[in-house]
Amino acid sequence: MPMVAPERRRRVTISDVAKHAGVSKAAVSKVIRNDYGVSDAMRDRVGRAIDELGYRPQAAARALRGRAFTIGVLMRHIGIPFYAEIMTGLVDQLAESDYQAIMIQGGTLDKTEKRALDALIDRQVDGILMIAPLVGRTQLEQVAREFPTVVLGRHDSSPVYDLIVDDDRVGSELVMEHLITLGHRRIGHITFQQEHGRAADQMPRIRAETYERVMRDHGLADEIAVAVTSYSEEGGYDGARELLSRDSRPTAIFAGSDEAALGVLAALHEAGLSVPDDVSVAGYDNTRLAAHPNIALTTVNQDGVVMGRMAGRLLLERIEGRTSPVHFSVIPSLVVRRSTAAPR
């Protein structure tokens, strides 16, 4: 028996609505876009036709001429809890507008990120939010010149895009002062070396530099010990093992991120060292997991929801025509939990 192809009902178009309402396509378009020059009667009439037919404008067609009503979000990877917070804020902010946020994974390589970014551009998004992008500054500015762009989590400001950052200097100082006040002197740090050596103002770099500065300010220049790995759990694990293998074992480790701190905890556990009795551990980001009683990590809280909401606002403003750059900084706070204590 021949397979009957399922009849794919043709989608309702603006012409269908126009015909059904007995008006022109242009009139329907005006109503949809809330354009000038529409009578109340027309609005009602078209509105009813739209409802009756269940019409929804097709984004692709709109994109070709006008806007796609789409905000593209580029992130390395989903599953990073802090990113989820950002999205919560962004979606919340966009909920009142006609815009929709779509996300795309850029991965951790230049190449894959480039591909993802291109994909967003090819899809004619109206604005782009880049979360901690790897892309070099020149290319970043080139994109930003053509599309409203907000960059989150990088410190290199530019006249062509908006910037949202947590004040990593302040946050790192909070952690370091906390550890030093507790009495620690041999404090290690785990940082993340981006592929682009040039990016002196990227977030991991700032945290690392602040760490070193505070150490020096307290006359602990000789105790500086940095492991360069990555901000992932694996990175934290490897970094901790490296730090532990050095001559004088640190009594505290400031991991550049909570993810990394989780790896540090794992490494310490494996080495039979207890936290915080043998080694204190602090992270950064206040991931939801940091709060879990089995982890109880001292960390820095940066309000991701606020950052996401602000990102949405800035993008909408840019889409509306703003060209002057905005630099928004969130002040972080220290959250002390059981992973830090005075050294024994």
**Residues in touch with DNA (CB under 7 A):** 10-11, 13-15, 23-27, 29-30, 32-33, 35, 37-42, 55, 57-58, 61-62, 64-66
Q: How far is the CB of 150 from DNA (least distance, A)?
A: 23
Q: How far is the CB of 25 from DNA (least distance, A)?
A: 5
Q: What 3-state DSSP class applies to 229?
A: strand
Handedness of CA 7, 15, 98, 317 (dihedral sign): positive
Binding of a copy of itself by 109 (CB under 8 A): no
Nearer to DNA, 15 or 248 (CB): 15
Binding mask 69-88 for a copy of itself (x = CB under 8 A): -x------xxxxx-xxx-x-
Nearer to a copy of itself, 196 or 269 (CB): 269
Residue at 16: amino acid letter: D
Choose, by CB under 8 A, the member of 103, 220, 226, 341 that binds a copy of itself: 103
Position of tokens 């762009």? 149
- List the single partner that 331 binds among a copy of itself, DNA, none, CB under 5 to 8 Å by kind: none
Choose, by CB under 8 A, the member of 15, 48, 52, 64 that binds a copy of itself: 64
Q: Is 165 exposed, middle or buried (0-12, 13-18, 19+ CB in 10 A)?
A: buried
Restricting to residues 240-299, name those near a copy of itself by CB under 8 A.
262, 265-266, 269-270, 288-289, 292-295
Q: What 3-state DSSP class applies to 94?
A: helix
Q: Extract the tokens encoding 37.
A: 């020059």
**Torsion angle, alpha carbons of 179, 182, 186, 190, to 10:** -20
Q: Extract the tokens encoding 134.
A: 């790897």
Residue 261 to residue 126: CA distance in whole angstroms: 37
Could you count the other beta carbons within 10 Å of the beta carbon of residue 242?
A: 17
Could you count the other beta carbons within 10 Å of the beta carbon of residue 126?
A: 19
Q: How far is the CB of 82 from a copy of itself (least distance, A)?
A: 8
Report the b/e string of 181-216 with b at 16+ CB within 10 A.
ebebbbbbbbbbebeeeebeebbbbbbbbbbbebbe
Binding of a copy of itself by 336 (CB under 8 A): no
Nearer to DNA, 11 or 48 (CB): 11
Binding of a copy of itself by 116 (CB under 8 A): yes
Q: How far is the CB of 132 from DNA (least distance, A)?
A: 30
Residues that bind a copy of itself (CB under 8 A): 3, 5-6, 8-9, 56-61, 63-64, 68, 70, 77-81, 83-85, 87, 91, 100-105, 107, 116, 118-119, 121-124, 145-146, 160, 233, 262, 265-266, 269-270, 288-289, 292-295, 323
